[in-house]
Structure 1
Amino acid sequence: MLKNNMTMEINLKNKVALVTGGSKGIGRGAAEALSAAGATVVICARNEKELQTTAHEISAKTGNKVIPIPTDVTSQSDVAQLLVRAKQDAGDIDILVNNAGGIGQTGAFEEIDEEIYSQLYDLNVVSMVRLMKAVLPAMKQKRWGRIINISSENGLQPYPDMIPYDLTKAAIINLSKAVSKAVGQYNILVNTVSPAFIATPLVEGMMEAQARSKGITKEAAEREFLQQNRPDIVLQRPGTIAEVGAAVVFLASEQASFITGTNLRVDGGSVASI
């Protein structure tokens, strides 16, 4: 239980965190934030070179151990091996950040192939099921755990040109809530973080490409995109990777010890509903 005079300084020393899709973007931001808070962090993704580089850079910045383990989260055998290696190198997982995923095919609903739905569902949703089932036995034994699933504003506010993605992100929010009810008795907290228009390398590249094609600055391209596509972002700017990482770290901490089954929107007001 928190004491009344406890400060908001977050200390995750002696905790082991696993971040999927941890080599870049929001996953890298979450890994760096957890490492800065003192956790030993395991990152996984498919690209071994990117993983090695990210692990080295984060560790050099925070002074804490970051372990890269190449993994395809759609493979049950890969996930099993990931947990074995993580335990050998760091210990049982205390904090799981399920971030790995993709956007899938975009465009008109009638033009999207049906198999895209099952493929993207496996990557974005079933992979999270797979990872949660893998870490839960140790968390139950310790009677302590944090699971943070990364969704998106699309899970609550769908866009008509991203329907397969919309569907999977809505499923993640539902999944987190359901699992939180199943494991709460073990002091395992399960929450969702839903970002919107975050300045990831992918988004930055998209804005730079639009700026070049229109002969305008990147800042002007961002303003135009926000006005036309995300008018409800009342802060009128992209979010940062660090801002998402801060939300993840908070939910992983003791300061969030009475928060479970929630969906924390890091969206600058983008989701228009309450």
Structure 2
Amino acid sequence: MDLEINDKTALVTGGSKGIGYGIAEALAKEGCELIICARHQEELEEAADQLRGYGSNVLSVVADLTKSSDIDRLVAEAQKEFGTIDILINSAGTIGQNGTFEETPLDEWRSLFDLNLFAVVELTQKIIPAMQEQQWGRIINVSSENGTQPYPDMIHYSASKGALDNFSKSLSKQYASEGILVNTISPAFIETPLVDNMMEQMAEEQGISKEQVIENFLSNDRPHIELERPGTIQEVGAVAAFLASEKASFVNGSNYRIDGGSVAAV
């Protein structure tokens, strides 16, 4: 299916690996020009080279999105290189340290919200004016199943994603009349380097294989994933690319769960 976005430019935050890379890859395959940003230059350049292999023109920018100066520089470099940013994918985020409410200090809350929410707000503020000018834009915010189905040992992460869900819905109501559509995707248990590292660490601590850890996690912690496997970044990327396209021209303010059924609610 031709998604009709081969003349569009997309900015993907956290685009060097994991879900961000999966989305960038899907957009590259559709012919989008890309700006990807992340904090680590070596990983970023490696990702950019891989994406160029699909024939996409790719600009990579090292940026820490918790710093306003880095956000300003990112937007300036992107606009200098490509002009308007048509598609904004806010994928950069952090899980933070797991713990109960009593175990989670206020500084941990602040640092997590700085990236998971406030960086999204600030970057979106800088990108929307150009979208308004051309009367077309797509904004896709990467949330999590935790925004709908919170877990007590991830209380600050769950709260940040719930806030992101509400921000996205509010934003969608304000800008739809100007051709700017805002949607959210909510993945759960996706096979990424972060998840792989977590599973490997648990395997080492428990003295069992990573495969057994994954099986136990699915049975005990995510029993509603009836597919009984992690998702892939390509599966997330496919949904995001659709939402970024002309084919999704009547989709606005929605939250697409890419979670294998993990969220138990309707």
Q: How high is the TM-score relative to the length of structure 2?
A: 0.97
- Structure 2: runs of 5+ lacking an equivalent: none
Q: Quick one: which of 135, 140, 149 aligns to 1:148?
A: 140
Partner of 1:4: none
Distance in 2 (alpha carbons) for counterparts of 1:250 and 1:75: 31
Q: Any conservation in 2 of the 1:176–1:261 contact (CA below 8 Å)?
A: yes
How do 1:127-166 residues align onto structure 2 when only pairs under 5 Å count?
127-166=119-158
Q: Quick one: which of 245, 248, 262 aligns to 2:240?
A: 248
Q: Quick one: which of 131, 151, 160 aligns to 1:168?
A: 160
CA RMSD of superposed structures (Å): 1.2
How do 1:202-241 residues align onto structure 2 when only pairs under 5 Å count?
202-241=194-233
Partner of 1:198: 190
For the pair 1:104 / 2:96, whether they are aligned, the reply is yes
Deviations 1:203-254 (A, max 9, x none): 1122233334445443222111100110011111100010011111010001
SS at match of 2:83: coil
Distance in 2 (alpha carbons) for counterparts of 1:207 and 1:193: 23
SS at match of 1:109: coil
Deviates more, 1:38-47 or 1:112-121: 112-121
Partner of 1:34: 27
Distance in 2 (alpha carbons) for counterparts of 1:192 and 1:160: 23
For the pair 1:115 / 2:115, whether they are aligned, the reply is no
Deviates more, 1:182-191 or 1:199-208: 199-208
Partner of 2:257: 265
Q: How high is the TM-score relative to the length of structure 1?
A: 0.94
Partner of 2:46: 53
Aligned-partner residue type, residue 92 of structure 2? A
Deviates more, 1:181-190 or 1:82-91: 82-91
Q: Any conservation in 2 of the 1:181–1:261 contact (CA below 8 Å)?
A: yes
Q: Any conservation in 2 of the 1:226–1:233 contact (CA below 8 Å)?
A: yes
Question: How many residues end up aligned between the 2 structures?
Answer: 266
Distance in 2 (alpha carbons) for counterparts of 1:59 and 1:11: 19
Deviations 1:174-220 (A, max 9, x none): 00000000111101000000000000011112223333444544322
Identity %, equivalent residues: 52
Deviations 1:76-125 (A, max 9, x none): 22111111111121221000000111112211211110122122111110
Aligned-partner residue type, residue 15 of structure 2? G
Distance in 1 (alpha carbons) for counterparts of 2:203 and 2:104: 28
